Amino acid sequence: MGFGAIIAAGESNKLLSAQVLDCITEVRVEQSLDEPTRFALRFQEDIIDGEPAIGSMPELQCGQMLAIAVQSGDAIHGLVRGPITDVQCSVMRGGPESWCQVNGQDLRVEMDRQCVRRAWSGRASAAAETILTQTFDRVQVEQTNLIYGAPRSGTSQISQTLNQRTTNAAFIRQIARQNNLQFWLEYECQLNGLDPTSQSLDITETANLKPSPPRPNGATAGASPVDLMQLVPTVAVALRVNVEPAQCPNVTAFDLTENPERPNQFVGTAIDDSNLQEHPTSATDLQPAIRQDGTGLTNSGVQRDVCITTAGNPTELQNRAEAALTEAGWFVNATASTTAYMLGDVLMPHNVIEVKGLGSKHSGPYQVSAVTHVINAADHFMDIQLRRNATGGE
């Protein structure tokens, strides 16, 4: 464990030796809601007998697997696991001030290497589950509502197949985008072994393709409708911004942008390919307000249309319009800077956290949309991006 980071290498996730950890100067992990997580480890390099001490280590070569986790209290939070994709080195004359940096990203990079051409039948969610099961330990996929490649017998079926002409990673992103879902990875981590020289991380990787936060029509197993409608914070800590000194402010900076000039409704027409008849359709944002008593775009009193066209049937048009409106509905965005020590916890995308000290309009729960972790000998710094789809209400 080096200054708060737990780093493991190889398919067996064996912890890096103390010799290697002592050379680390910085660990950086960039996470977002549904983009691949990227990481970088910078080492102080040394030249021994004409060979670079770090650059020649087998576990730090391109293609080798690295996993990065951090501990907060008794919990171990997995930040990323994936292959090293490139190595950078800077060698100074004589050796001092030389450095080596390894960069990589999560396992989605392996899904993005080969182009696949296939016609899928059935639901898009079933196709996604088939693909994701090949790579990840666990898969949680929300069922989609269209059945491809089947005889037409109602609004849930269409005759065309679902055609894939991209990499598996791009195809999963397409399914997510068109069905109002998000694709992200989670890591369940546990230290294995007592001997520091042979310890490893037990890591279970879960691929998620589902709404975030959950919605009433996108329930996760075991969740009740009440839980889904009350988008309460999912972490025990809060971001305390402009509060009394006795309440201990725990952010070093907080910036907020409110942009209500976004679409909040859709009205259009699609042609049913089974009978060539026109069908009017309309859509709204399905995501419940992150602040139930607040004001969102749908109740702002100003109508702003989203323009969506598709060659598909009315249900496909409905799905894409709902996805566009849900994305547009996150019209309040913020950035904050803190540390794991100040906050008392580690934040990750998809967390919902309470923000205090912004007045009645902007205080309340926000969803974490991105986190950049920078871990060095001083602290574990976190630059956080937040979003919400309602204001006011206190």
DSSP annotation string for 145-185: S-EESS---STTB-SS-EEE-SBHHHHHHHHHHHTT-EEEE
- Tell me the residue range of the domain where 75 lies: 5-105
User: Mean pLDDT across the stretch 175-202?
Assistant: 90
Residue 223 lies in a domain: no
* Residue 245 forms part of a structural domain: no
**What pLDDT was estimated at residue 156?**
61
Of residues 73 and 30, more confidence is placed in 30
Q: Give the pLDDT score at 189.
A: 96
351 in a domain, yes or no?
Answer: no
Find which of 41-55, 103-117, 262-276 is predicted with most confidence, using mean pLDDT: 103-117
Provide the pLDDT confidence category of residue 339 given band limits of 50, 70 and 90: very high
134: pLDDT confidence band, cut at 50, 70 and 90? very high
Q: What is the pLDDT of residue 153?
A: 59
pLDDT of 227 reads: 44
Same-domain check for residues 47 and 84:
yes
- Domain boundary among the residues 105, 137, 156 is at 105
- CA–chain centroid gap for 252, Å, is 24
**Percent of the chain surpassing pLDDT 90:** 62
Q: Residue 215 carries which DSSP code?
A: B
Residue 377 falls inside a structural domain: no
216 pLDDT above the threshold of 80: no
pLDDT band of 281, cuts 50, 70, 90 = confident
How many folded domains does the chain comprise? 3
**Which of 187, 214, 248 lies at the terminal end of a domain, its last residue?**
187
Task: Tell me, yes or no, whether 83 and 126 share the same domain.
Answer: no
Judgement on whether residues 138 and 119 belong to the same structural domain of the protein: yes
> How many CA atoms lie less than 13 Å away from 374 in the CB half-sphere?
7
- Give the span between the Cα atoms of 12 and 203, in whole angstroms: 9
Q: What is the mean pLDDT of residues 354-376?
A: 95
Q: How many helices (H) and strands (E) does the chain have?
A: 7, 24
Mean pLDDT of 166-172: 98
**234, exposed or middle or buried, with CB in 10 Å at 0-12, 13-18, 19+?**
middle
What is the distance between the alpha carbons of residues 14 and 36, in angstroms, rounded to a whole number?
Answer: 23
What CA–CA distance (Å, rounded) separates 330 from 70? Answer: 29
Q: Are residues 54 and 126 in the same domain?
A: no
Q: Which of 183-192, 276-285, 380-389 has the lowest mean pLDDT?
A: 276-285
CA 344 to chain centre: 21
Determine the Cα–Cα distance for residues 43 and 250; give it in Å rounded to an integer.
30
Residue 314 belongs to what H/E stretch? helix 314-328
Q: In terms of Cα–Cα distance, which of 224, 121, 140, 230 is closest to 181?
A: 140
Higher-confidence residue of 265 and 232: namely: 265
Enumerate residues 6+ apart whose C-beta is below 8 A from 98.
44, 45, 46, 47, 52, 89, 90, 91, 92
* Cα gap 89→86, rounded to integer Å: 10
Whether the pLDDT of residue 276 is over 90: the answer is no
- Least confident piece of the model among 113-127, 202-216, 226-240, 254-268: 226-240
- At residue 6, the pLDDT reads 94
Q: What pLDDT is recorded for position 228?
A: 44
Domain membership of residue 144 (yes or no) is: yes
pLDDT bucket at 313, cuts 50 / 70 / 90: confident
Of 263 and 81, which is predicted with more confidence? 81
pLDDT of 333 higher than 70 = yes
Sign of the dihedral defined by the CA atoms of residues 162, 166, 168, 170, in that order:
negative
Q: Of the ranges 73-77, 264-268, 332-336, which is most confident?
A: 332-336
115 has a pLDDT exceeding 50: yes
pLDDT of residue 225: 43
| Residue 283, pLDDT above cutoff 50 | yes
Asked if 129 and 178 sit in the same domain, the reply is yes
27 lies in the same domain as 87:
yes
> Is pLDDT at 299 greater than 90 in this prediction?
no
Residues 155 and 74 reside in one and the same domain: no
**First CA to last CA distance, the chain:** 44
Q: Which residues contact 122 (CB under 8 A, 6 or more apart)?
A: 147, 148, 149, 150
**What pLDDT is stored for residue 157 in this prediction?**
59
Residue 277 lies in a domain: yes
Q: What is the DSSP letter of 323?
A: H
Q: Which two tokens stand for residue 318?
A: 């409905």
